[in-house]
């Protein structure tokens, strides 16, 4: 489909999140994909508490992002990025073998890599200081370290996961890896450089700036 004939997409985003989450909310992936694909979009901003009620028709868990364009309504950031990639060769080659490689890396990012890295964030950020984390953390860190080392080996000296071109697989992988503890990622210098390379892309920078600019809301009552 010709990008110019499409209804601009709308992406849901929070108008307020705690400081640690700013720049890391998952609508960023969708904004980044739209920027890479040069597709226009707007945001539907949710203030604290507005992710209940009718919004659940769009996103059953009350999370962001939800997405709609002239054709589809969706939730799940990975599925939305795939939908956008299907519409833009900038994110995914058109041939079956190339498409299969991109799908593989997208699922690798969200499954093989995001589970251990997300588990570490769960310990370090969302359960910081909880007694059980002392016992659990070493095993989770070892799990994440192993996956990062294996991924670094596979990346080798390539600029991107699929060789010399950026794809939707790199987009999701970067957004997952940038949430790993900096010291852990730094143990794999080629992977750290890869994340830097992808984050230096103008489309990422534009998406990040747009997410930050949308945090115009106030915290919920009682937040300190």
Ligand X SMILES: N[C@@H](CCC(=O)N[C@@H](CS)C(=O)NCC(=O)O)C(=O)O
Give me the residues that bind ligand X (CB under 6 A), please: 25-26, 62-65, 76-78
User: Is 127 or 155 the residue whose CB approaches ligand X more closely?
Assistant: 127
Minimal distance in Å, beta carbon 66 to ligand X?
9
Minimal distance in Å, beta carbon 69 to ligand X?
16
Residues sharing a CB contact under 8 Å with residue 116, sequence separation 6 or more, in sequence order: 140, 143, 144, 147
Minimal distance in Å, beta carbon 219 to ligand X?
14
Minimal distance in Å, beta carbon 144 to ligand X?
18
User: Is 93 or 107 the residue whose CB approaches ligand X more closely?
Assistant: 107
Q: Identify the bridge partners of residue 12 per DSSP, sorted by sequence position.
A: 44
User: Is 106 or 188 the residue whose CB approaches ligand X more closely?
Assistant: 106
Three-state helix/strand/coil letters over the chain: CCHHHCCCEEEEEECCCCHHHCCCCCHHHHHHHHHHCCCCEEEEEECCCCCCCCHHHHCCCCCCCEEECCCCEEECHHHHHHHHHHCCCCCCCCCHHHHHHHHHHHHHHHHHHHHHHHHHHHHHHHCCCCHHHHHHHHHHHHHHHHHHHHHHHHHCCCCECCECCCCHHHHHHHHHHCCCCHHHHHCCHHHHHHHHHHHCCHHHHHHHHHHHHCCCCCCCCCCC
Minimal distance in Å, beta carbon 132 to ligand X?
21
User: Is 30 or 90 the residue whose CB approaches ligand X more closely?
Assistant: 30
What spatial distance separates the first Cα and last Cα of the chain, rounded to whole Å?
A: 48
User: Is 122 or 159 the residue whose CB approaches ligand X more closely?
Assistant: 122
User: Is 76 or 159 the residue whose CB approaches ligand X more closely?
Assistant: 76
Q: Which residue is nearest to ligand X (CB)?
A: 63
Minimal distance in Å, beta carbon 73 to ligand X?
14
């Amino acid at each position: 489909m010709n990008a110019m004939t499409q209804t601009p997409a709308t992406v849901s985003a929070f108008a307020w999140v705690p400081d640690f989450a700013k720049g890391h909310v998952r609508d960023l992936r969708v904004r980044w994909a739209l920027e890479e694909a040069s597709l226009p979009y707007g945001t539907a901003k949710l203030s604290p508490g507005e992710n209940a009620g009718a919004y659940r028709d769009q996103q059953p868990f009350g999370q962001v992002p939800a997405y709609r364009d002239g054709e589809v309504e969706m939730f799940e950031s990975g599925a939305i990025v795939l939908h956008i990639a299907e519409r833009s060769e900038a994110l995914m080659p058109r041939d079956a073998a190339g498409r299969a490689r991109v799908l593989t890396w997208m699922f690798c990012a969200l499954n093989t890599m995001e589970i251990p890295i997300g588990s570490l964030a769960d310990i370090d950020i969302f359960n910081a200081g909880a007694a059980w984390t002392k016992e659990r953390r070493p095993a989770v860190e070892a799990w994440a370290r192993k996956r990062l080392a294996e991924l670094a080996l596979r990346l080798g000296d390539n600029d991107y996961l699929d060789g010399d071109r950026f794809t939707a697989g790199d987009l999701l992988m970067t957004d997952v890896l940038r949430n790993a503890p900096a010291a852990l990622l730094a143990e794999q210098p080629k992977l750290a450089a890869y994340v830097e390379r992808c984050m230096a892309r103008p489309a990422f920078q534009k998406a990040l700036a747009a997410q930050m600019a949308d945090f115009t809301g106030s915290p919920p009552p009682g937040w300190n």
